[in-house]
Chains A and B, each alone.
Chain A
Amino acid sequence: MVGSYILLFSNPTNLDGGVMKNQNMRTGLAQAKGLGSAKEGVHHWLMQRLSAVFLLFLITWLIYTMFLLKGKTYHEIHHCMQNPFNAAGMFLSIATMSYHAMLGVQVVIEDYVHHFGWRTFSLIVVKFIGYALPALSLFFLIKIMG
Chain B
Amino acid sequence: MPSSKKRPLSPHLQVYRWQITNTLSIFHRLTGIGLCFSLVFLVAWLGCLALSIDAYNGFMSLFHSFVGQFIFIMSLLGLYYHLANGIRHLAWDAGYGFSLKVTTITGWLVVIFSFLATLLTWMAV
Contacts and interface: CB of A to CB of B under 8 A. Distances in A.
B29 A108 contact: yes
B86 A105 contact: no
A78 B49 contact: yes
A59 B47 contact: no
A108 B93 contact: no
A15 B5 CA distance: 46
Contacts of A59: 79, 83
Contacts, number: 67
B62 interface: no
A136 B40 CA distance: 11
A144 B50 contact: yes
Given A105-B36, A114-B1, A141 B90 contact: no
Contacts of A56: 83, 87
A49 B49 contact: no
Nearest to A107: B29
Interface residues of A, number: 32
A104 interface: yes
Contacts of A94: 39, 42-43, 46
B2 A116 contact: yes
B125 A136 contact: no
- Interface SS, B side: helix
B112 interface: no
Given A94-B46, A137-B43, A101 B35 contact: yes
Contacts of A78: 49
A44 to B, nearest CB: 14
B33 interface: yes
A104 B50 CA distance: 29
Nearest to B121: A63
Given A56-B87, A74-B53, A116-B2, A101 B36 contact: yes
Interface in B98-123: 121
B63 interface: no
User: Most chain-B Cβ atoms within 10 A of its Cβ — which of A77, A90, A108, A140?
Assistant: A140
Nearest to B43: A137
Given A94-B46, A101-B39, A108-B32, 7 more contacts: A52-B89, A74-B56, A97-B35, A101-B32, A114-B2, A140-B50, A143-B50
